[in-house]
Structure 1
Amino acid sequence: MMSKKVLVILGHSLDDSFCAALSAQYAVSAAAAGHQVQILKLGDLQFDPILHQGYRQIQPLEVDLVQAQAQIEWAEHIALVYPIWWGAAPALLKGFIDRVFVPGFAFKYQENSSFQVKLLKGRSAHLLVTMDTPPWYYRWVYRLSVLRQMRVTTLEFCGIQVKKTAIFGPVISAKPEQRSAWLAQACALATRI
């Protein structure tokens, strides 16, 4: 197995959340498997999450976002850990993506073409997602809508290939044994990068 540069992005604002526990376990396990690991906690960053001009004019990036882009460029594999709130990714994560995955960094428009150049090609990803909805209900009733959105129209749009999506839930009613099993699942996923 070749060592990879792994970036673990925590898309939850709280350090004592189950997402934080999953991201910490993933990072420790990836490091134990011989990978170089960096952790990016979005809740620790200082930035304006709003695209005030859309993509008509790219806002100057705050120092934390410049560093985040450097970490993404460094990474060969990204683990994105976040909760589903109100059927979507948290506003913090959405704002981060809006501000960081901008034209010229994550993709480039082509003249006279409807297709973009994927500037983050060559990277893989794992999605680790928590929810309070039972995963079977989310799969069959909501059709995994927000997971497809993150995988296809965000990451794959920019060239990042999602290798695995792990769904953990319902978290709100999970017993300690269940949470331990989920942490073990995150550990196993990190060892198979």
Structure 2
Amino acid sequence: MNVLIVFTHPNHQSLSYAFLQGVLRGCEENHVIQNVQVLDLYGENFDPVLQFGEKKKRRDMYKDPELEKYRDQLSWAEKIIFIYPIWWGRPPAMLMGYIDKMFASGFAYKDNGKLLPDGLLKGKSVVCISVMKGPTFYPMFWLNNTHKVLMRKALFQYVGIKKVKFFEFGNMENSKGKHQNKIKKVYKYFKN
């Protein structure tokens, strides 16, 4: 199995980075996973800003040569793992900009005149690992599960990805947040 990890946090001393290390350890110990690539969006200085005009049209984004490397990674991956914090009830703007650019028409989906397009990323699976300051159930009860709906239905289902798993950890700025237990849970998931 080919695994692409999209890591989105500017600080390598962060809890998100500790989760990345746990995922990597688990992947190394899993005999089914042959290859792992890590895309550190901040480390890569990925430009999340969409810019269009006369010479650069949105409808042609799927063939933008500046994004070819990232399209190749997504095509190569059988499992895509997103690791990111939840800020203001949603993933960071850096990750949303990556999604805006990469999950483009002509690459991730194809319009067919029906309600839902033809998803071009069928057969892949996704794992989202997110951490937040607030309680774990805050997004579900206070925000109507907006984060999961955004990721599962508005994005992954739209591009044909049906297998989506979430690890959503709250109270992570609390000293009693049981950080090591949560990292171990993610590690064991990828190990097995």
| Aligned equivalents of 2:185, 2:83: Cα separation in 1 | 13
2:64 to 38, 60, 67: 60
Q: Number of aligned pairs?
A: 185
Seen in structure 2, the aligned counterparts of structure 1 residues 113 and 163 have a Cα distance that, compared at 3 Å, is: closer
Q: Conserved in 1, the CA contact under 8 Å of 2:59 and 2:105?
A: no
Q: Conserved in 2, the CA contact under 8 Å of 1:25 and 1:187?
A: yes
> Cα distance, 1:90 vs. partner?
0.3
Q: Which runs of 5+ in 1 are unaligned?
A: none
> Cα distance, 1:42 vs. partner?
0.9
The worse-fitting range, judged by mean Cα deviation, of 113-122 and 87-96 is 113-122
Partner of 2:38: 39
Q: TM-score, normalising length from structure 2?
A: 0.87
| Aligned equivalents of 2:115, 2:164: Cα separation in 1 | 26
> Cα distance, 1:88 vs. partner?
1.3
Q: Deviations over 1:30-84 (max 9, x none)?
A: 121121211111112234322223734538342xx32222111111111111111
Partner of 1:187: 187
Partner of 1:15: 12
Percent of aligned positions that are identical? 29
Seen in structure 2, the aligned counterparts of structure 1 residues 120 and 37 have a Cα distance that, compared at 3 Å, is: same
Kindly provide the amino acid, as one letter, of the partner of residue 24 in structure 2.
A
1:5 to 2, 7, 10: 2
Kindly provide the amino acid, as one letter, of the partner of residue 102 in structure 2.
V
The worse-fitting range, judged by mean Cα deviation, of 77-86 and 37-46 is 37-46
RMSD: 1.9
Q: TM-score, normalising length from structure 1?
A: 0.87
Kindly provide the amino acid, as one letter, of the partner of residue 5 in structure 1.
N
Partner of 1:72: 74
Q: Conserved in 1, the CA contact under 8 Å of 2:130 and 2:169?
A: yes
Kindly provide the amino acid, as one letter, of the partner of residue 7 in structure 1.
L
Seen in structure 2, the aligned counterparts of structure 1 residues 174 and 148 have a Cα distance that, compared at 3 Å, is: farther
2:101 to 86, 93, 99: 99
| Aligned equivalents of 1:91, 1:131: Cα separation in 2 | 15
Q: Conserved in 1, the CA contact under 8 Å of 2:136 and 2:171?
A: yes
